[in-house]
Structure 1
Amino acid sequence: MNRIAAVRSAFLHKKFPRAQFESITLGGIAAEKIHVEGKSQPGCLLYLHGGGYFMGSVATHRGFGLKLAFRSQRPVYMIEYRLAPEHPYPAALDDAVVSYEALCKLHPPRSVIIGGDSAGGGLALALLLKLKETGGPFPAATFCLSPWTDLSCGEESHRFNAKHDFMFQPEHFVQWAPLYVGKNSPTNPFISPLFGELSGFPPLLLQVGACEMLLDDSRSFAKRAREAGVQVDLEVWDGMQHVWQIALPHLPESKKAVHKIIAFVEKHLPGNGLWAA
């Protein structure tokens, strides 16, 4: 009984981290800064939410942003980029560029890591292409979870994984892509970064599920990036579905994947490493 009482006491008196959610703007774009009270590590993260470019928000991804802030002990910034179909390309990319430029006035670019999932992952890579075009400073590194890199929907995994992907059907991406593409070509590199010139990119981490239709969006992008001389860590997770790190947070594979993300952050924004476990 004494041991049980001790465990209960320890739990009741455990000091959980206190999160702060601050509504801000970055270059006029509505955003949220998430940070955890306590000692902060150098640098920050800019995270771009997914949702097919037509849905999703800071609110839908706040829990994952908090997890990143807690695990990395760094502030995480999330933006409310404009959504299709009311705001097709280039609205989301324009908002990402403006927000990143504003963030770089608060944090040196080499102390920033960009991340994103699904459409947000594709947007993160498109942002790198735009920075390359304009000569803007790159972030220290970028990580993407199941990024949508080809809005022409031409990758083979759209077909061979259709029966294994329990989240999507082939027609979903075909229906969603035009909402963002609008009157532009779906192979425009700033829409589909798979078709961009990738040389000079900062280090990349790509995580993708082996069972999802967007598998080849990551594999093909990683292949092209490596051919361009980019340092790429491609992780294909057996049995995993689209953005499992967020959709199924309690899976052991989700916790392991987040651990690898934090290790990647720590590698490129060195701190004391205490929170990478």
Structure 2
Amino acid sequence: MSGTELAARDPHADVRIEDLGSTPPILRIQPAAAPSDSALIHFHGGGYRKGSPRMFAGSVARIATACETQVFAVGYRLSGVSPFPAAVDDALAAYRLIAADIDPDRIALWGDSAGGGLAAALLLRLRQLGIPGPAGAFLFSSWLDLRNTAASYAGNRATDRIFSIELATEAAAAYLAGRPATDPLISPALGDWTGQPRLVVQVSGAEVLRDDSLLLARNAAAAGVDVRLKVYEGEPHIWNLAYPATPASRRAIGFMVEQLGELFAPVTDT
């Protein structure tokens, strides 16, 4: 299926959305066809300053239906009240809670924009603590280097109407609260990726965060990680969340479905 469009699924398919009543807050988004022994853990975007699982529930439900996989959407603390490391701590707590019931080999992380950065930071934190990590991670249009010095901020300024160097500067200042942006749990593109699972990285060549994804992909691949990088031309930031409305979003989610199938494929004896 690589490189092809995924046929659009019915956006009104039966999907159950349940608030787990947990700390941190988690929504369980479960399509009717999804098994309970595997899951995606989703971290929303919003520059660490805004957003919630409820805000993104519609897009996540459509993508969950395409993947035929339940999604646990995590409501991490936002930087206006709780700067770093609160979001990473919440991501870790959510992962521990979910992995208590589901084998980590049947879990994959998924994040968009700042949520992609948080998913990547969680992988590094799990390795620091010696906690078994997930089967892989899907990082879409991810904010991965909060130094905000990438050339694509200037090069794609005219083509990215959603994110900008001004917004990145404001959001980074709120999240950092005086801490160095070079901390790998803040800027995971700068981290040591040795021994990490497969990374599925998708980014638009027209967005200001393009170079963040390219830097992470390059550093992770150099550390021996299986990186599946897809660069889409001319698409807006987090275009995947428009699924199934655009051809590019269908291609992006089609690739996600393919890769998720590989990650969760049963291991057979040879």
Both proteins in one fold, TM over 0.5: yes
Match of 1:119 in 2: 114
How far has the Cα of 1:68 moved from its partner? 2.6
Bigger Rg over Cα: 1
> Unpaired runs of 5+ in structure 2?
1-9
Match of 2:209 among 211, 214, 221: 214
How far has the Cα of 1:75 moved from its partner? 1.1
Match of 1:17 in 2: 13
- RMSD between aligned alpha carbons? 1.6
Summarize deviations over 1:169-211 as a string: whole Å, max 9, x none: 3211111111111121011100000111111110000100110
**Cα separation, 2, equivalents of 1:155 and 1:248:** 28
Match of 1:140 among 115, 135, 139: 135
Contact 1:147 1:218 (8 Å CA) reproduced? yes
Counterparts in 2 of 1:164 and 1:79: CA distance versus 1, 3 Å: same
Contact 1:210 1:241 (8 Å CA) reproduced? no
Moved over 6 A (4+): none
Summarize deviations over 1:66-109 as a string: whole Å, max 9, x none: 12321122211001100012110000000000100111011011
Match of 1:184 in 2: 179
1:52 alignment partner, SS class: coil
**Cα separation, 1, equivalents of 2:33 and 2:135:** 24
Worse-matched range after superposition: 58-67 or 46-55: 58-67
**Cα separation, 2, equivalents of 1:118 and 1:160:** 18
Aligned pairs (5 A) from 1:152-191: 152-191=147-186
**Cα separation, 2, equivalents of 1:108 and 1:25:** 22
> Unpaired runs of 5+ in structure 1?
1-13, 272-277
1:85 is matched by which residue type in structure 2?
G
Contact 2:243 2:253 (8 Å CA) reproduced? no
Counterparts in 2 of 1:39 and 1:54: CA distance versus 1, 3 Å: closer
Contact 2:204 2:236 (8 Å CA) reproduced? yes
2:124 alignment partner, SS class: helix
Normalised by the length of structure 1, the TM-score is 0.89
**Cα separation, 2, equivalents of 1:152 and 1:236:** 22
